[in-house]
Chains A and B, each alone.
Chain A
Amino acid sequence: MKMKLIPLLLTAVMILASCQTLETATSIATTIGEGAGLVSSSQAESLRKTTKAVARSAEEFTPEQEYYVGRSVGAVVLAKYPAYDNGKINQYLNLIGQTLAQASDMPGIFGGYHFLILNSDDINAFATPSGLVFVTRGLLRCCRSEDALAAVLAHEVCHIELRHGMQAIEKARLTEALTTLAAESAKTFGSREVAALTETFGGTITDITKTMIDKGYSRSSEYDADNKAVELLKRVGYDPNGLVDMLVTMKKNLKAGGLDFAKTHPSPENRITEIQKDGFKYMAVKATAARQSRFQQALGNI
């Protein structure tokens, strides 16, 4: 028995020299025990499972996986609302939006931030976990200045930064998704594994789009995005009063009973009250003539 243990100990030392995680070590040590016939295979299996469960709870999606989740969430949004195919105005939106995103606390996102106008009179906007931001023409009509438009885009960027989309994934699904991903990621996929993963993926997309499009995030998530947007606007040099201006116009434009922001967001009045809680005093937006003129040129006829 003693002689038998020497190679085991040697292996243990070798593992120690290169071990990367507790789970690897346990897995290898368990295999050794199992191979030597000293741990039964069912014991070995449960030992592996226990360690894995501990490791799993700390796991997160990689930015690359969020990117693929976000692309499909975007594809669902675009199945509901058609894109507004106008290169010039979309470019204007991206100049403002991508600048805000770069100045945010999360400029590093797998595929970058991209902004697109949706051809709809609804007052609506969506931000996918992968950095795709959609704004309807109806919402753009609530903006009377570039600062107001910047406020709309900053609010969406902040939803991404605060990870509200990913948080909409139901807990059971999250566990299922992360477990499937971890179990399958090492293998070369067969069609069965791809089918199983696709089902989990589809469930994830449904969780996010249901919340984002139909139910809306919690009121506190919306207030958090507003407050963070105010900070981001100041950082870049936009006037945060633009957010209040936009909400005042939104209040006039929203139609009761609508399935857009009328349903998914707290009322503009409440949002204004929340923004002004921490000593924020409204003053008329100050913008240069050049800024107002390029805004009118881009969105005057939206």
Chain B
Amino acid sequence: MTRVGGIIFVVISSCLFFAAWGPAQAPNKMNIQIMDGQVRSAPSFLGTIVARLTYGDSVDVIKDEGAWKKVALRGGVQGWMHSSALTTKSIILKAGARNVQTSATGGEIALAGKGFSEEVEKKYKSLNRNLDYAWVDRMEKFQVSPEQMQAFLKEGGVTPAKGGVQ
């Protein structure tokens, strides 16, 4: 009993050591945690979009600049992403039997479509028929492209602060 306890202790403490030394995932790899991951030409909200990534895609982080990260995409394209779009967690879009055990362990893994999900919303909606999801769906379609933003700012003489752009 004490020996087994000792072994468990060794496994746990070694794991802690290894976790501090380096995560299982390469340290510079990050994943897109939002639906529309915009990759821009410059570290600014004014930078033109050079690529778009989706939820669960991954990138290699080359360097940091404030809240922005220079990233490399599969295929060699490089650009800038805001750190709020990225996570170090592995995002599993479809949970299979293999990752069920590890997925329950939290911290480093996010299971897409689980927990508070479309399924739960559907159930909640069926229990609260007075709520208005139709307009929520409609307003989510209100989109403004970066080109429209640029033109709008220019037309109105709205000039972003130098150095204030992050």
Task: Select which of A94, A234, A238 is within 8 A of B142 by beta carbon.
Answer: A94
Q: What is the distance, in angstroms, from B164's C-beta to the closest C-beta of chain A? A: 4
Assess whether A186 is in contact with B115, with CB atoms less than 8 Å apart. Answer: no
Q: What is the distance, in angstroms, from B118's C-beta to the closest C-beta of chain A? A: 7
CB closest residue in chain B, given A197 = B120
CB closest residue in chain A, given B81 = A108
Distance A288 CA – B146 CA, assembled complex (angstroms): 22
Assess whether B111 is in contact with A186, with CB atoms less than 8 Å apart. Answer: yes
Task: Select which of B115, B136, B152 is within 8 A of A74 by beta carbon.
Answer: B136
Interface string of A158-198 (1 = CB under 8 A from B): 00000000000000000001000111111101000011011
- For B130, list chain A residues within 8 Å (CB): 79
Distance A98 CA – B141 CA, assembled complex (angstroms): 13
Q: What is the distance, in angstroms, from A202's C-beta to the closest C-beta of chain B? A: 6
**Number of CB contacts from chain A to chain B under 8 A:** 266
Assess whether B139 is in contact with A116, with CB atoms less than 8 Å apart. Answer: yes
Interface string of A279-295 (1 = CB under 8 A from B): 00000000110110010
Distance A75 CA – B8 CA, assembled complex (angstroms): 49
Assess whether A63 is in contact with B33, with CB atoms less than 8 Å apart. Answer: yes
Q: Count of B residues near A, CB < 8 Å?
A: 86
Q: What is the distance, in angstroms, from A132's C-beta to the closest C-beta of chain B? A: 6
Interface residues in chain A, defined as those with a beta carbon under 8 Å from any beta carbon in chain B: 1, 5, 8-9, 12, 15-16, 18-27, 29-30, 33, 36, 38-39, 55-56, 58-59, 61-65, 68-69, 71-72, 74-76, 78-79, 83, 90-91, 94-96, 98-99, 102-103, 105-112, 114-116, 132, 146, 177, 181-187, 189, 194-195, 197-198, 201-202, 204-205, 234-238, 287-288, 290-291, 294
